[in-house]
Amino acid sequence: MKRSLGRLIVVSSFSALTAWGATFQWRVLELPKSLYVHQSGVIRYECGFSDSAAEYTVAFKPQSTAEYNVEILTQRDRVSEGKRFQTFDVLITPKREGTIRVNLDALVRHTTFASIENATIGRDNVKKYDFNDEKAVLPPVTIEAKGNSAALTGNIALSLHVDHQSVRAHEPVHLSLYVKGSGNLDQFVPYELNITGVKVFAEPPQKNLTPSTDGFEGEIRQEFALVSEKSFVIPPLSLSVLDTSSGEVKTLSTETIRIEVGEGYAIENLLDPPDLSDTATLKRYGFYAVLVIFGMALGEGFRWFWKHRPRRKTNHFWERAKSTKELVMLLALSGDKRYESIVAELERGSMSLREAKKRLEVYPNRSE
Protein backbone atom coordinates (compact mmCIF):
# COMPACT_ATOMS: atom_id res chain seq x y z
CA MET A 1 0.00 0.00 0.00
CA LYS A 2 1.33 3.50 -0.86
CA ARG A 3 2.37 5.54 2.17
CA SER A 4 0.81 8.91 2.87
CA LEU A 5 3.42 11.67 3.26
CA GLY A 6 1.15 13.62 5.61
CA ARG A 7 0.70 10.66 7.94
CA LEU A 8 4.45 9.99 7.97
CA ILE A 9 5.12 13.59 8.97
CA VAL A 10 2.56 13.40 11.82
CA VAL A 11 3.95 10.13 13.12
CA SER A 12 7.55 11.32 12.86
CA SER A 13 6.73 14.53 14.72
CA PHE A 14 4.90 12.63 17.46
CA SER A 15 7.87 10.24 17.77
CA ALA A 16 10.36 13.08 18.07
CA LEU A 17 8.39 14.84 20.77
CA THR A 18 7.91 11.74 22.95
CA ALA A 19 10.89 9.64 21.97
CA TRP A 20 11.80 8.93 25.56
CA GLY A 21 8.22 8.09 26.62
CA ALA A 22 6.47 9.18 29.81
CA THR A 23 7.73 8.33 33.26
CA PHE A 24 5.45 7.03 36.00
CA GLN A 25 5.45 6.61 39.74
CA TRP A 26 3.29 4.53 42.10
CA ARG A 27 2.36 5.71 45.57
CA VAL A 28 -0.05 4.83 48.37
CA LEU A 29 -2.68 7.49 49.13
CA GLU A 30 -4.65 5.72 51.87
CA LEU A 31 -4.25 2.55 53.90
CA PRO A 32 -5.66 0.99 57.09
CA LYS A 33 -2.98 0.69 59.76
CA SER A 34 -4.81 -2.13 61.54
CA LEU A 35 -7.70 -4.48 60.81
CA TYR A 36 -9.37 -7.37 62.53
CA VAL A 37 -9.17 -10.79 60.98
CA HIS A 38 -11.93 -11.04 58.32
CA GLN A 39 -12.44 -7.26 58.46
CA SER A 40 -12.03 -5.51 55.10
CA GLY A 41 -10.20 -2.26 54.50
CA VAL A 42 -9.25 -0.15 51.46
CA ILE A 43 -5.74 0.55 50.21
CA ARG A 44 -5.73 3.35 47.61
CA TYR A 45 -2.90 3.18 45.08
CA GLU A 46 -2.14 5.88 42.50
CA CYS A 47 -0.06 5.62 39.34
CA GLY A 48 1.00 9.10 38.18
CA PHE A 49 2.51 9.78 34.75
CA SER A 50 4.70 12.69 33.70
CA ASP A 51 2.37 13.58 30.82
CA SER A 52 -1.00 12.52 29.37
CA ALA A 53 0.46 9.04 28.68
CA ALA A 54 -2.12 8.20 26.02
CA GLU A 55 0.05 5.34 24.78
CA TYR A 56 0.19 3.68 28.22
CA THR A 57 -2.14 1.16 29.84
CA VAL A 58 -1.97 -0.37 33.31
CA ALA A 59 -2.82 -4.04 33.88
CA PHE A 60 -3.38 -4.42 37.60
CA LYS A 61 -4.66 -7.79 38.81
CA PRO A 62 -3.76 -8.29 42.48
CA GLN A 63 -3.57 -11.88 43.71
CA SER A 64 -4.71 -13.18 47.12
CA THR A 65 -2.27 -15.03 49.36
CA ALA A 66 -2.44 -17.27 52.42
CA GLU A 67 -2.31 -14.15 54.61
CA TYR A 68 -4.96 -11.99 52.99
CA ASN A 69 -7.68 -11.73 50.33
CA VAL A 70 -7.41 -8.88 47.87
CA GLU A 71 -9.56 -7.55 45.03
CA ILE A 72 -10.03 -4.27 43.17
CA LEU A 73 -13.04 -2.34 44.43
CA THR A 74 -12.96 0.69 42.08
CA GLN A 75 -10.71 2.14 39.39
CA ARG A 76 -10.55 5.78 38.20
CA ASP A 77 -8.62 7.50 35.43
CA ARG A 78 -8.15 11.29 35.20
CA VAL A 79 -5.92 13.92 33.58
CA SER A 80 -4.90 16.98 35.60
CA GLU A 81 -2.68 19.78 34.24
CA GLY A 82 -1.62 17.61 31.32
CA LYS A 83 -0.66 14.68 33.55
CA ARG A 84 -2.48 11.38 33.78
CA PHE A 85 -3.36 9.70 37.07
CA GLN A 86 -4.87 6.24 37.59
CA THR A 87 -6.28 5.44 41.02
CA PHE A 88 -7.11 1.94 42.28
CA ASP A 89 -9.09 1.17 45.47
CA VAL A 90 -8.02 -2.30 46.60
CA LEU A 91 -10.06 -4.21 49.19
CA ILE A 92 -7.79 -6.08 51.60
CA THR A 93 -9.04 -8.67 54.12
CA PRO A 94 -6.60 -10.35 56.56
CA LYS A 95 -6.94 -14.09 57.04
CA ARG A 96 -4.77 -14.49 60.14
CA GLU A 97 -3.65 -12.56 63.17
CA GLY A 98 -0.31 -10.71 63.17
CA THR A 99 1.64 -8.43 60.91
CA ILE A 100 0.43 -8.61 57.31
CA ARG A 101 2.77 -7.40 54.57
CA VAL A 102 1.05 -6.55 51.31
CA ASN A 103 3.37 -6.60 48.29
CA LEU A 104 1.60 -6.13 44.98
CA ASP A 105 2.78 -5.49 41.45
CA ALA A 106 1.27 -4.29 38.19
CA LEU A 107 2.11 -4.35 34.50
CA VAL A 108 2.58 -1.01 32.73
CA ARG A 109 2.22 -1.46 28.97
CA HIS A 110 3.64 1.03 26.48
CA THR A 111 2.59 0.95 22.83
CA THR A 112 5.64 1.27 20.54
CA PHE A 113 5.80 4.03 17.93
CA ALA A 114 6.48 1.46 15.22
CA SER A 115 3.15 -0.10 16.07
CA ILE A 116 1.44 3.32 15.94
CA GLU A 117 3.06 4.05 12.57
CA ASN A 118 2.03 0.71 11.10
CA ALA A 119 -1.55 1.08 12.34
CA THR A 120 -1.74 4.71 11.14
CA ILE A 121 -0.31 3.98 7.69
CA GLY A 122 -2.45 0.86 7.41
CA ARG A 123 -0.03 -1.86 6.47
CA ASP A 124 -1.84 -5.04 5.47
CA ASN A 125 0.44 -7.37 7.45
CA VAL A 126 -0.21 -5.61 10.78
CA LYS A 127 -2.72 -7.51 12.91
CA LYS A 128 -2.31 -5.83 16.32
CA TYR A 129 -0.34 -3.29 18.30
CA ASP A 130 3.08 -4.12 19.77
CA PHE A 131 3.70 -3.43 23.45
CA ASN A 132 6.68 -2.89 25.68
CA ASP A 133 5.74 -4.25 29.09
CA GLU A 134 7.33 -3.11 32.32
CA LYS A 135 6.64 -4.74 35.69
CA ALA A 136 6.05 -2.17 38.41
CA VAL A 137 6.48 -3.11 42.06
CA LEU A 138 3.99 -1.16 44.16
CA PRO A 139 5.01 0.40 47.47
CA PRO A 140 4.77 -2.20 50.25
CA VAL A 141 2.02 -1.88 52.88
CA THR A 142 2.10 -3.26 56.41
CA ILE A 143 -1.12 -3.91 58.35
CA GLU A 144 -1.53 -5.18 61.89
CA ALA A 145 -4.24 -7.86 61.95
CA LYS A 146 -5.96 -8.28 65.30
CA GLY A 147 -7.56 -11.51 66.46
CA ASN A 148 -11.24 -12.12 65.81
CA SER A 149 -13.30 -15.11 66.91
CA ALA A 150 -16.70 -13.75 65.78
CA ALA A 151 -18.66 -15.39 62.99
CA LEU A 152 -19.11 -12.09 61.14
CA THR A 153 -17.48 -8.68 61.24
CA GLY A 154 -19.05 -5.29 60.61
CA ASN A 155 -22.25 -3.40 61.28
CA ILE A 156 -24.83 -6.20 61.14
CA ALA A 157 -28.40 -6.78 62.39
CA LEU A 158 -30.30 -10.06 62.88
CA SER A 159 -34.09 -10.48 62.78
CA LEU A 160 -36.64 -13.30 62.61
CA HIS A 161 -40.26 -13.29 61.36
CA VAL A 162 -43.05 -15.92 61.23
CA ASP A 163 -46.25 -15.69 59.18
CA HIS A 164 -48.51 -17.32 61.83
CA GLN A 165 -48.19 -18.20 65.49
CA SER A 166 -51.36 -20.31 65.57
CA VAL A 167 -51.97 -23.07 63.02
CA ARG A 168 -53.67 -26.45 62.69
CA ALA A 169 -51.85 -29.76 62.83
CA HIS A 170 -49.65 -30.38 59.75
CA GLU A 171 -50.16 -26.81 58.57
CA PRO A 172 -46.73 -25.25 57.80
CA VAL A 173 -45.35 -22.22 59.61
CA HIS A 174 -43.12 -20.09 57.40
CA LEU A 175 -40.06 -18.66 59.11
CA SER A 176 -37.87 -15.92 57.60
CA LEU A 177 -34.41 -15.08 58.92
CA TYR A 178 -32.78 -11.78 57.90
CA VAL A 179 -29.14 -10.72 58.24
CA LYS A 180 -28.65 -7.10 57.13
CA GLY A 181 -25.89 -4.51 57.19
CA SER A 182 -22.30 -4.24 55.96
CA GLY A 183 -19.19 -6.31 56.59
CA ASN A 184 -17.99 -9.75 55.57
CA LEU A 185 -21.53 -10.94 54.81
CA ASP A 186 -20.13 -13.20 52.10
CA GLN A 187 -18.84 -15.43 54.94
CA PHE A 188 -22.35 -16.08 56.31
CA VAL A 189 -22.91 -19.73 57.28
CA PRO A 190 -26.52 -20.96 56.86
CA TYR A 191 -28.47 -21.89 59.99
CA GLU A 192 -29.64 -25.41 60.72
CA LEU A 193 -32.77 -25.74 62.87
CA ASN A 194 -33.35 -28.80 65.02
CA ILE A 195 -36.63 -28.73 66.96
CA THR A 196 -37.96 -31.88 68.60
CA GLY A 197 -41.16 -33.14 66.98
CA VAL A 198 -40.95 -30.63 64.12
CA LYS A 199 -40.12 -31.32 60.50
CA VAL A 200 -37.90 -28.52 59.20
CA PHE A 201 -37.65 -27.68 55.50
CA ALA A 202 -34.90 -25.13 54.75
CA GLU A 203 -34.01 -23.25 51.58
CA PRO A 204 -30.49 -22.06 50.65
CA PRO A 205 -29.83 -18.45 51.70
CA GLN A 206 -30.72 -15.77 49.19
CA LYS A 207 -27.98 -13.12 49.10
CA ASN A 208 -28.45 -9.61 47.76
CA LEU A 209 -24.98 -8.14 48.31
CA THR A 210 -22.86 -5.45 46.67
CA PRO A 211 -19.14 -4.70 47.26
CA SER A 212 -18.38 -1.83 49.64
CA THR A 213 -15.49 -0.39 51.64
CA ASP A 214 -16.51 -2.69 54.52
CA GLY A 215 -16.48 -5.76 52.30
CA PHE A 216 -20.10 -6.25 51.28
CA GLU A 217 -23.38 -4.57 52.13
CA GLY A 218 -26.94 -5.71 51.64
CA GLU A 219 -29.25 -8.44 52.92
CA ILE A 220 -29.24 -12.20 53.37
CA ARG A 221 -32.55 -14.07 53.77
CA GLN A 222 -33.02 -17.69 54.73
CA GLU A 223 -36.47 -19.31 54.58
CA PHE A 224 -37.79 -22.25 56.63
CA ALA A 225 -41.06 -24.20 56.72
CA LEU A 226 -41.93 -25.89 60.05
CA VAL A 227 -44.55 -28.66 60.27
CA SER A 228 -45.74 -30.30 63.48
CA GLU A 229 -48.69 -32.10 65.08
CA LYS A 230 -48.26 -30.39 68.44
CA SER A 231 -47.39 -26.96 69.76
CA PHE A 232 -43.68 -26.15 69.80
CA VAL A 233 -41.21 -23.37 70.56
CA ILE A 234 -38.73 -21.80 68.18
CA PRO A 235 -35.62 -21.22 70.31
CA PRO A 236 -33.61 -17.98 70.05
CA LEU A 237 -31.16 -17.87 67.14
CA SER A 238 -27.83 -16.20 67.90
CA LEU A 239 -25.00 -14.74 65.84
CA SER A 240 -21.64 -13.46 67.13
CA VAL A 241 -20.57 -10.25 65.39
CA LEU A 242 -17.46 -8.11 65.85
CA ASP A 243 -18.58 -4.49 65.86
CA THR A 244 -15.74 -2.76 64.01
CA SER A 245 -16.75 0.69 65.30
CA SER A 246 -16.28 -0.31 68.97
CA GLY A 247 -14.01 -3.32 68.59
CA GLU A 248 -16.34 -5.42 70.75
CA VAL A 249 -17.78 -8.82 70.00
CA LYS A 250 -21.56 -8.76 70.33
CA THR A 251 -23.99 -11.65 70.34
CA LEU A 252 -27.09 -10.90 68.31
CA SER A 253 -30.12 -12.96 69.34
CA THR A 254 -33.74 -13.33 68.32
CA GLU A 255 -36.67 -13.77 70.68
CA THR A 256 -38.26 -17.08 71.63
CA ILE A 257 -41.39 -17.70 69.54
CA ARG A 258 -44.14 -20.11 70.63
CA ILE A 259 -46.29 -21.71 67.95
CA GLU A 260 -49.72 -22.99 68.96
CA VAL A 261 -50.84 -26.02 66.96
CA GLY A 262 -54.56 -26.89 67.12
CA GLU A 263 -56.44 -29.98 66.03
CA GLY A 264 -56.29 -30.96 62.41
CA TYR A 265 -59.17 -31.04 59.95
CA ALA A 266 -61.73 -33.87 60.44
CA ILE A 267 -63.63 -35.29 57.47
CA GLU A 268 -66.99 -34.87 59.18
CA ASN A 269 -66.20 -31.21 59.82
CA LEU A 270 -65.43 -30.57 56.18
CA LEU A 271 -69.03 -31.46 55.17
CA ASP A 272 -71.09 -29.78 57.86
CA PRO A 273 -74.83 -29.59 56.93
CA PRO A 274 -76.15 -26.05 56.48
CA ASP A 275 -77.89 -24.43 59.44
CA LEU A 276 -81.44 -23.93 58.11
CA SER A 277 -82.44 -21.96 61.20
CA ASP A 278 -80.24 -19.11 60.02
CA THR A 279 -82.20 -16.50 58.01
CA ALA A 280 -79.17 -15.55 55.92
CA THR A 281 -78.61 -19.20 55.00
CA LEU A 282 -82.26 -19.62 53.97
CA LYS A 283 -82.11 -16.51 51.81
CA ARG A 284 -78.93 -17.72 50.15
CA TYR A 285 -80.39 -21.16 49.33
CA GLY A 286 -83.65 -19.57 48.18
CA PHE A 287 -81.69 -17.37 45.81
CA TYR A 288 -79.91 -20.44 44.45
CA ALA A 289 -83.29 -22.19 43.89
CA VAL A 290 -84.65 -19.18 41.99
CA LEU A 291 -81.58 -19.21 39.77
CA VAL A 292 -82.07 -22.92 39.01
CA ILE A 293 -85.75 -22.44 38.15
CA PHE A 294 -84.98 -19.43 36.01
CA GLY A 295 -82.35 -21.43 34.12
CA MET A 296 -84.80 -24.29 33.49
CA ALA A 297 -87.50 -21.89 32.24
CA LEU A 298 -85.04 -20.15 30.00
CA GLY A 299 -83.98 -23.47 28.47
CA GLU A 300 -87.59 -24.56 27.81
CA GLY A 301 -88.39 -21.20 26.26
CA PHE A 302 -85.43 -21.45 23.94
CA ARG A 303 -86.45 -24.96 22.87
CA TRP A 304 -90.01 -23.78 22.07
CA PHE A 305 -88.74 -20.80 20.11
CA TRP A 306 -86.40 -22.99 18.10
CA LYS A 307 -89.18 -25.45 17.29
CA HIS A 308 -91.59 -22.72 16.14
CA ARG A 309 -89.09 -20.46 14.45
CA PRO A 310 -90.21 -19.27 10.98
CA ARG A 311 -88.65 -21.34 8.24
CA ARG A 312 -87.89 -20.09 4.82
CA LYS A 313 -90.23 -21.74 2.29
CA THR A 314 -88.66 -23.44 -0.71
CA ASN A 315 -90.06 -22.32 -4.05
CA HIS A 316 -90.66 -25.30 -6.37
CA PHE A 317 -90.85 -25.04 -10.13
CA TRP A 318 -94.41 -26.41 -10.25
CA GLU A 319 -95.82 -23.74 -7.89
CA ARG A 320 -95.93 -21.16 -10.69
CA ALA A 321 -98.43 -23.30 -12.67
CA LYS A 322 -101.78 -21.49 -13.06
CA SER A 323 -103.76 -24.37 -14.62
CA THR A 324 -103.75 -28.14 -14.83
CA LYS A 325 -102.48 -28.04 -18.42
CA GLU A 326 -99.58 -25.80 -17.43
CA LEU A 327 -98.77 -28.09 -14.46
CA VAL A 328 -98.86 -31.19 -16.71
CA MET A 329 -96.46 -29.52 -19.12
CA LEU A 330 -94.01 -28.52 -16.32
CA LEU A 331 -94.04 -32.00 -14.75
CA ALA A 332 -93.57 -33.69 -18.13
CA LEU A 333 -90.64 -31.42 -19.00
CA SER A 334 -88.93 -32.18 -15.68
CA GLY A 335 -88.37 -35.80 -16.77
CA ASP A 336 -88.97 -37.13 -13.26
CA LYS A 337 -90.87 -40.45 -13.40
CA ARG A 338 -92.28 -39.84 -9.90
CA TYR A 339 -94.68 -37.32 -11.42
CA GLU A 340 -96.13 -39.73 -14.05
CA SER A 341 -99.04 -40.85 -11.86
CA ILE A 342 -99.96 -37.22 -11.07
CA VAL A 343 -99.70 -36.28 -14.76
CA ALA A 344 -102.00 -39.21 -15.70
CA GLU A 345 -104.65 -38.21 -13.16
CA LEU A 346 -104.50 -34.57 -14.26
CA GLU A 347 -105.02 -35.60 -17.90
CA ARG A 348 -108.01 -37.76 -16.94
CA GLY A 349 -109.43 -34.89 -14.91
CA SER A 350 -109.64 -36.93 -11.73
CA MET A 351 -107.36 -34.52 -9.80
CA SER A 352 -107.63 -30.79 -9.43
CA LEU A 353 -104.71 -28.33 -9.57
CA ARG A 354 -104.85 -27.71 -5.81
CA GLU A 355 -104.86 -31.43 -4.97
CA ALA A 356 -101.92 -32.03 -7.29
CA LYS A 357 -99.81 -29.31 -5.61
CA LYS A 358 -100.58 -30.69 -2.12
CA ARG A 359 -99.52 -34.13 -3.26
CA LEU A 360 -96.32 -32.78 -4.74
CA GLU A 361 -95.48 -31.09 -1.38
CA VAL A 362 -95.04 -34.45 0.34
CA TYR A 363 -92.52 -35.72 -2.24
CA PRO A 364 -88.90 -35.79 -1.11
CA ASN A 365 -86.93 -32.63 -1.94
CA ARG A 366 -84.93 -32.67 -5.11
CA SER A 367 -82.49 -30.16 -6.47
CA GLU A 368 -84.14 -28.21 -9.27
Kindly list the domain boundaries of the chain, sorted by start residue. 5-146, 152-262, 273-307, 317-361
Confidence at 1, pLDDT banded by 50, 70, 90? very low
The answer as to CATH 2.60.40 being correct for domain 5-146 is yes
Q: Does position 124 have pLDDT exceeding 70, yes or no?
A: no
Q: Does position 73 have pLDDT exceeding 60, yes or no?
A: yes
Give the whole-angstrom CA distance, residue 153 versus residue 85.
Answer: 33
Q: Quick one: pLDDT at residue 58?
A: 93
pLDDT digit string (tens) for 35-54? 999 999 999 999 999 998 88
The answer as to CATH 3.40.1130 being correct for domain 152-262 is no
Give the whole-angstrom CA distance, residue 102 versus residue 145.
Answer: 12
Asked if the domains 5-146 and 152-262 are classified in one and the same CATH topology, the answer is yes
Q: Does position 241 have pLDDT exceeding 50, yes or no?
A: yes
Q: Does position 180 have pLDDT exceeding 60, yes or no?
A: yes
Average pLDDT over residues 271-294: 74
Confidence at 309, pLDDT banded by 50, 70, 90? low
DSSP lists the bridge partners of residue 326 as none
Q: Quick one: pLDDT at residue 12?
A: 39
Nearest 5 degrees, angle CA 200-CA 201-CA 203? 135
pTM of model > 0.85 = no
Give the whole-angstrom CA distance, residue 40 versus residue 70.
Answer: 9
Asked whether the beta carbons of 207 and 217 are under 8 A apart, the reply is no
